[in-house]
């Protein structure tokens, strides 16, 4: 029997419309004459979803008893007996009731597929086994129902039901996903905008990987080996040498430039299993590959370039990164083209990047001005003379004749020129003397004697020496100028870097000191304060026996250099660097002054705001209290007992108001100074909310409470928390429309306890919400009877002092919701208390 086809609708989160899309597909297939049944569907009380079930045949569920409770499960046997063309099976990751023949619903789906029935099913990204822990890290909610990746990857078709996070939150706010009582907690917990964005990206990336696997299978089955640039793939060739880290980081940057780019590192080993790589370096590079998010591969091949190209083509690579050859030019001349040239020739349409890596393993050092030619070149010139002379003599002896003397002379002259070009004057003089003696011994009559019988022969020998000297002088001058040019370029680079460090102003002193140490090959550099001799910054580890050189840096500091003594030309360059260091010190001094001035300006602004507030808001209750007391003391008016009581009440209320304002001002000063006294202990949220209601004289007609009994205790200072709730409630009641109630709800999520105070008032624009937490801000409110505008500023300071956060967001349907989030007190959490928070079921992460 032909196996049925599985189609999976994948969603990033509950409510994106997977079940809705599955039922719509059922109606579409039914209209085309396909026999479709609903094996099981979970509507979760959603009216629009339930309406789509009408018109489709539904297989009755079977009842399963468990611990005295009847559970509804899919009747797999009934579906098999009905044997439709297509079965709609919701919630693929669902766990069946204990005692069922099959543990998971996807096991039931396998039975239907084996029976030749096509299945359309749904699953959320958090139920995929390989992503389960990642989703828990993002959302803070563990998910116990999972489906193996192999089951999903074995599906014939996977389709993402995509919905923008903002649209999903709007759908949730409109009551289209959960009942109204669960909306607030869901929006602030699992359905945060950041959570939904991350889950959406996970779903799309997982599907992209699945599409990529299908593409590889198709290319393999159809023998396609040329690249298809569906996504950027960068292959980095590792030899195990020190340049590997540089190549990997360059490859990672190339891959990062394209969204979804992939990094692959490959090391080719010989067919006999022997490697010339450094095992330690290769292990470190392998760890770096994991850190960069790439994959490491090893292939066996005798022909390294061919193995690299074959691997790149098999991986559908678009870029291949290799290091520049570490061979010398002489070695390259004798051994032919290297790996890089061969890879370029064989790569076809794969782009090849040859990365220079010499600078990555060594520090920046200025070239010396000592000798024009390096000792290495002089040794090479001597070797050419020693090897080339006998070889040339052997060749010329084989073809010796009376008429060949001219060509013999020119051949030896050419050897002298070549040696001069390679090694300079001393190897050239040696080659000239050796070739002259050899020419006289083997080719000038009488043979096999070193006798200068003819003055012309002596002249020839002198000409050899003169030509060698002239050519070597030219070579020496060219080398000297080349080295001078390189040094000038290095000095320019150094000065440009120094100037750039100062202009950027970001840790310029450290950059300058580090660059100085590297440029002059020093073991250590220290910058000392000129007056106190304290170390401002340092780089390197100087040895005890190092020579110490000091240079003044303006009047502020002293530069202490540890290492070899500097030449006069290097001291000239160092003086330029010390000038830049002096400017950096001045820049830092100015920055410190600017910080001080900025702090003074902020303090002055706060002082002005405080004076402006005190000038009016404190005067009002003080004036009222003074007037009441003055009236009582007056002997010109005969006050009745009722009048006296009223005046005393006025004075008492005014003084109480004045005391509250002064207390708030003192609290603001303590918060600003960071000396707020906080006593944290497990606190029941209800014990902080209920006293606040009593203080504000609010009843059921004013406030709606939703504080679950299983809500964990918060780690808080109960007195401060009460004051926070009082401030938030007073603001919410003040702005709530006539006849509406303020809602106070509690919830727990990810180790945090939240208190949400919601009103249905005018709300606050998103770009102005930060302003409400600034002292003395009323956002245009001119009703000065409400205080100094310190309530929310104090509340934020109190909450942050308790290790929590205070944020504002829109209330679904209009208004403002203030969210107090505090750490949950572990001792106050009952087992399983967090599981009691309002979270959806399948659909329930």
The pLDDT assigned to 431 comes to 82
What letter would DSSP give residue 553? E
- Topology of domain 505-675 in CATH is Beta-Lactamase (3.30.450)
- Per-range mean pLDDT, top range of 116-130, 266-280, 486-500, 686-700: 116-130
The pLDDT assigned to 723 comes to 82
Mean pLDDT of the chain: 77
CA dihedral 833, 134, 159, 157 (to 10 degrees): -110
The pLDDT assigned to 302 comes to 66
Name beta bridge partners: 29: none
The pLDDT assigned to 326 comes to 61
Tell me: pLDDT of 829 over 80.
no
CA dihedral 819, 825, 828, 831 (to 10 degrees): 90
The pLDDT assigned to 108 comes to 92
From 485, 513, 521, select the one nearest 497 (Cα to Cα): 513
644-675: pLDDT as tens digits = 788 788 888 778 767 766 665 665 555 555 54
Tell me: pLDDT of 169 over 60.
yes
Q: Which residues of 294-333 are buried (b: 16+ CB within 10 A; e: fewer)?
A: bebeeeeeeebbebbbbbbbebbbbbbbbbeeeeeeeeee
Local confidence band at 335 (pLDDT 50, 70, 90 cut-offs):
very low
Tell me: pLDDT of 218 over 90.
no
The CATH homologous superfamily for domain 233-360 is HUPs (3.40.50.620)
State the Cα–Cα distance between residues 651 and 625, nearest whole angstrom: 4
The pLDDT assigned to 677 comes to 63
Tell me: pLDDT of 31 over 90.
yes
Q: Strand order in 351-355's β-sheet? A: 295-300, 262-269, 233-238, 319-323, 351-355
Tell me: pLDDT of 365 over 60.
no
Q: Is 480 exposed, middle or buried (0-12, 13-18, 19+ CB in 10 A)?
A: middle
The average pLDDT across 10-33 equals 92
State the Cα–Cα distance between residues 20 and 9, nearest whole angstrom: 10
State the Cα–Cα distance between residues 754 and 685, nearest whole angstrom: 9
- Hey, where are the domains in the chain? 6-221, 233-360, 375-483, 505-675, 681-836
The radius of gyration of the chain's CA atoms, rounded to the nearest angstrom, is 42
Cα 25 to the center of its chain, rounded Å: 40
The pLDDT assigned to 375 comes to 76
State the Cα–Cα distance between residues 795 and 781, nearest whole angstrom: 19
What letter would DSSP give residue 450? -
Per CATH, 6-221 and 233-360 having the same topology is answered: yes
What letter would DSSP give residue 462? H
State the Cα–Cα distance between residues 292 and 249, nearest whole angstrom: 8
548-557: pLDDT as tens digits = 888 888 888 9
What is the CATH code for 6-221? 3.40.50.300
Q: How many CB atoms lie within 10 A of CB 815?
A: 21
Q: Retrieve residue 775's tokens.
A: 């002292």
The pLDDT assigned to 113 comes to 94
Matching residue, tokens 């023949």: 101
The pLDDT assigned to 71 comes to 77
Helix 508-519 × helix 568-613 angle, to 10°: 170
The average pLDDT across 466-470 equals 71
Matching residue, tokens 């543990």: 103
- Selected residue with higher pLDDT from 16 and 604: 16
Q: Retrieve residue 220's tokens.
A: 């393999």
Q: Retrieve residue 753's tokens.
A: 């306890």
Residues 423, 382: contact at Cβ < 8 Å? yes
Query: Largest Cα–Cα distance of the chain, in whole Å?
Result: 156
The pLDDT assigned to 710 comes to 80
Q: Does domain 681-836 have CATH number 3.30.565.10?
A: yes
Distances from the Cα of 710 to the Cα of 186, 531, 560, 707, 828, angstroms: 17, 65, 66, 9, 10
Residues 753, 714: contact at Cβ < 8 Å? yes
The average pLDDT across 19-48 equals 92
701-754: pLDDT as tens digits = 889 888 887 888 999 888 788 888 888 888 888 888 887 889 999 988 778 899
């Amino acid at each position: 029997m032909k196996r049925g086809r599985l189609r999976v609708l994948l969603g990033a989160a509950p409510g994106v419309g997977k079940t809705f899309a599955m039922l719509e597909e059922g109606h579409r297939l039914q209209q085309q004459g396909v026999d479709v049944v609903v094996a099981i569907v979970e509507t979760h009380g959603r009216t629009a979803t339930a309406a789509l079930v009408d018109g489709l045949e539904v297989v009755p569920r079977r009842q399963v008893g468990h611990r005295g409770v009847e559970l509804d499960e899919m009747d797999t046997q009934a579906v098999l007996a009905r044997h439709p063309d297509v079965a709609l099976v919701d919630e693929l990751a669902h766990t069946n009731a204990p005692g069922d023949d099959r543990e998971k619903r996807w096991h039931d789906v396998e039975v239907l597929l084996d029976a030749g029935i096509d299945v359309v099913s749904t699953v959320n990204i958090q139920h995929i086994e390989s992503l389960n822990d990642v989703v828990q890290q993002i959302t803070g909610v563990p998910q116990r129902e999972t489906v193996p990746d192999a089951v999903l990857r074995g599906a014939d078709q996977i389709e993402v039901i995509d919905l923008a996070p903002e649209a999903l939150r709007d759908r949730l706010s409109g009551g289209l996903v959960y009942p109204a009582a669960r909306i607030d907690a869901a929006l602030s917990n699992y359905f945060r905008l950041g959570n939904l964005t991350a889950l959406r990206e996970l779903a799309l990336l997982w599907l992209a990987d699945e599409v990529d696997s299908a593409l590889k299978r198709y290319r393999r089955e159809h023998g396609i080996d040329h690249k298809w640039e569906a996504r950027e793939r960068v292959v980095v060739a590792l030899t195990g040498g020190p340049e590997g880290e540089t190549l990997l980081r360059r490859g990672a940057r190339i891959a990062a430039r394209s969204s979804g780019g992939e990094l692959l590192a490959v090391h080719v080993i010989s067919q006999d299993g022997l490697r010339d790589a450094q095992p330690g370096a290769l292990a470190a590079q392998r760890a770096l590959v994991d850190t960069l998010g790439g994959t490491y591969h090893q292939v066996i091949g005798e022909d390294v370039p061919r193995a690299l190209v074959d691997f790149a083509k098999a991986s559908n690579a678009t870029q291949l990164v290799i290091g520049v050859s570490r061979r010398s030019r002489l070695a390259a001349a004798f051994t032919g083209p290297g790996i890089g040239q061969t890879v370029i020739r064989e790569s076809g349409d794969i782009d090849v990047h040859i990365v220079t890596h010499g600078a990555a393993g060594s520090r920046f050092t200025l070239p010396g001005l000592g000798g024009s030619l390096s000792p290495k070149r002089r040794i090479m010139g001597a070797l050419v003379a020693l090897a080339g002379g006998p070889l040339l003599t052997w060749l010329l002896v084989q073809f010796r004749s009376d008429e060949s003397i001219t060509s013999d002379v020119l051949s030896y002259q050419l050897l002298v020129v070549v040696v001069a070009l390679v090694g300079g004057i001393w190897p050239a003089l040696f080659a000239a003397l050796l070739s002259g003696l050899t020419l006289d011994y083997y080719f000038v009559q009488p043979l096999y004697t070193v006798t200068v019988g003819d003055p012309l022969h002596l002249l020839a020998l002198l000409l050899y020496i003169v030509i060698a000297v002239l050519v070597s002088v030219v070579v020496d001058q060219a080398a000297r100028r080349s080295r001078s040019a390189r040094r000038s370029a290095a000095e320019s680079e150094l000065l440009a870097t120094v100037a750039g460090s100062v202009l950027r102003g970001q840790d310029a002193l450290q950059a300058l000191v580090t660059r100085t140490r590297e440029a002059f090959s020093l073991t250590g550099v220290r910058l000392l304060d000129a007056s106190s001799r304290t170390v401002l910054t340092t780089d390197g580890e100087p040895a005890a026996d190092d020579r110490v050189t000091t240079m003044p840096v303006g009047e502020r500091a002293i530069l202490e250099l540890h290492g070899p003594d500097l030449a006069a030309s290097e001291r000239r360059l160092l003086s330029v660097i010390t000038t830049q260091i002096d400017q950096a010190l001045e820049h830092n001094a100015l920055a410190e002054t600017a910080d001080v001035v900025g702090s003074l300006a902020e303090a002055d602004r706060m002082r002005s705001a405080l004076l402006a507030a005190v000038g009016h808001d404190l005067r009002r209750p003080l004036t009222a209290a003074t007037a009441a007391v003055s009236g009582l003391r007056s002997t010109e008016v005969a006050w009745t007992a009722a009048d006296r009581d009223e005046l005393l009440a006025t004075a008492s209320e005014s003084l109480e108001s004045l005391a509250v304002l002064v207390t708030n001002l003192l609290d603001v000063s303590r918060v600003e100074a960071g000396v707020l006294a906080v006593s944290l202990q497990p606190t029941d949220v209800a014990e902080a909310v209920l006293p606040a209601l009593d203080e504000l004289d609010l009843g059921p007609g004013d406030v709606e409470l939703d504080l679950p009994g299983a809500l964990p205790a918060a780690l808080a200072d109960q007195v401060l928390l009460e004051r926070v709730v009082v401030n938030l409630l007073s603001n919410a009641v003040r702005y709530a429309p006539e006849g509406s109630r303020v809602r106070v709800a509690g919830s727990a999520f990810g180790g945090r306890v939240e208190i949400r105070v919601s009103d249905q008032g005018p709300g606050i624009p998103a770009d102005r919400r930060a302003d409400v937490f600034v002292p003395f801000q009323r956002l245009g409110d001119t009703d000065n009877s409400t205080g100094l505008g310190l309530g929310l500023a104090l509340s934020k300071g109190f909450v942050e002092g308790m290790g929590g956060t205070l944020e504002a967001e829109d209330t679904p349907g209009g208004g403002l919701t203030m969210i107090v989030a505090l750490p949950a007190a572990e001792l106050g959490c009952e087992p399983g208390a967090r599981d009691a928070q309002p979270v959806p079921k399948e659909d329930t992460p």
